[in-house]
Amino acid sequence: MKSSKKISSALISVYHKDHLEPIVRKLHELGVTLYATGGTQDFIEGLKLPVVPVEDVTDYPSILGGRVKTLHPKIFGGILSRRENSSDITEMEEYKIPNIDLVIVDLYPFESTLASGADEQSIIEKIDIGGISLIRAAAKNFKDVLIIPSRDQYSFLSDILNNQDGVTSLEDRKRMCVQAFELSSHYDAAIFAYFNSDKSVDVFKQSIRTSRSLRYGENPHQAARFYGQFEDIFEQLHGKEISYNNLLDIDAAVSLIKEFEEPTVAILKHNNACGIASRSSISEAWKDALSADPVSAFGGIIIVNREIDGKSAEAMNQLFFEVLIAPAFSKDALEVLKQKKNRILLVQKGTELSAKQFRTLLNGVVEQDRDLKTESARDMKTVTKLAPTAVEVSDLEFANKIVKHTKSNTIVLAKNKQLLASGTGQTSRVDALQQAIAKAKNFGFDLKGSVMASDAFFPFPDCVEIADKAGIKTVIQPGGSIKDQESIDYCNEHGMAMVITGFRHFKH
């Protein structure tokens, strides 16, 4: 079998006609016989080039409003025939079926029609049937046929036509075969997701076509890629290539900052907030966020929910950090922050995050709903004789937002809308609390008047006792322990206020 194949005939059936003209003109120049359907035929004829209507091959008109054009043995026989199979050759001659060496397709735009908010009938009409069948047929017969499954591959085809005189190698055809089945599987996955929106068919399917190579994974010996449209959420203004670990921190930062409406600065390290404060200005918020743990802040990432001005940038520039995310940067701020060539500066354009989360686990995948529950004062049930003051309720809301986004087991201590300290990722809730208290004292914070938030219930009253002895008098927790009353009794006996929300926020 000859691996090189000269293109002598081409079937073209495309939705979008942009960038098609130079391809068609070059095919004509090379003496290739062109076959085309409806709108594509009209386009080629408009270029004053010869083209054979598909109907002339099939002896059958386009029917059902164009729903059936190419679905015919004389078309699919021409694509699927094995050029060196004697039986196929005999049948092709008997039924007068022309061989088709090149198939160019551009499918109906199902996904963009869906995204536009179109009605159901319009969406259904953009489910391509003939085109997807042509793609699969040509890809299956890659040993003899070249498939160009979308306009994204026009440059590849142009190179073959202009630099190889229309001669394809087996490698060329197999490369496009892979592209074709990738496109067809993605197209079908999108259609399936549309019809299965109620999850009546319980399967896991994801198809993300855009990806970028990362420098490495969590560690230099691990390869990594990011699949998704990073540019839909961020514009990178400056800095080095974003790493796997950067992405994990960025994801955690975006989820956290979304919780706050006042001017807020958060500093994260290994996906946990090591500093966060809400103030009347970003410069004040920065100062108080950094004071929570200036040691951990070194090499971390920073996210803010207001424009960064020159004053804030000057203060931030004193710290070494990897990434800074903001909705905008002033000109003065950029001049300061760009002084470090590797520092990553990101403008956050949106916060559209998936409502579902999934990860590989054992020999499969687990999926869950994103934790979208954020408790407010309305969710707080006071279970002690002493109720928290209005200021304490505000701090409880603040602390509970942070605890929701911190690795379990975790305890968060806060006062005046400032993170004082947190205990993160501990196997014991007591250890998490003791870690938080030790850190707060290490950085000179007075815990009197502060509040404590826990991501899960207290199985014993030991945590409220430790908090009380450290000067903490107000507590928020989900509740739900069979020994809740013991913690409540301790609070009542020692003048502490406790509220229960009924919502746990484990994060692993």
Residue whose token pair is 């994060």:
507
Burial class of 82 by CB neighbour count within 10 A (0 to 12, 13 to 18, 19+): middle
Tell me whether residue 25 is exposed, middle or buried, using C-beta atoms within 10 angstroms of its C-beta: 0 to 12, 13 to 18, 19 or more.
middle
Strands (E), 110-252: 146-148, 167-168, 211-213, 225-227, 234-238
Please report, as a single letter, which amino acid is at residue 384.
Answer: T
Of 6, 17, 26, 140, the catalytic one is 140
Alpha carbon distance 60, 39 (integer Å): 17
Contact criterion met (CB below 8 Å) for 361 and 243: no
Integer Cα distance of 66 and 62 in angstroms: 6
Query: How many C-beta atoms surround the C-beta of residue 379 within 10 A?
Result: 16
> Which string of DSSP letters, residue by residue, matches 78-124?
HHH--TT-HHHHHHHHHTTPPP--EEEEE---HHHHHHTT--HHHHH
Q: How far apart are CA 264 and CA 281, in angstroms?
A: 8
What the block records as the tokens of 384 is 């002690």
Which one from 270, 287, 340, 494 is the annotated catalytic residue?
Answer: 270
H or E stretch covering 459: none
Q: Annotated catalytic, 270?
A: yes
Enumerate the active-site residues.
140, 270
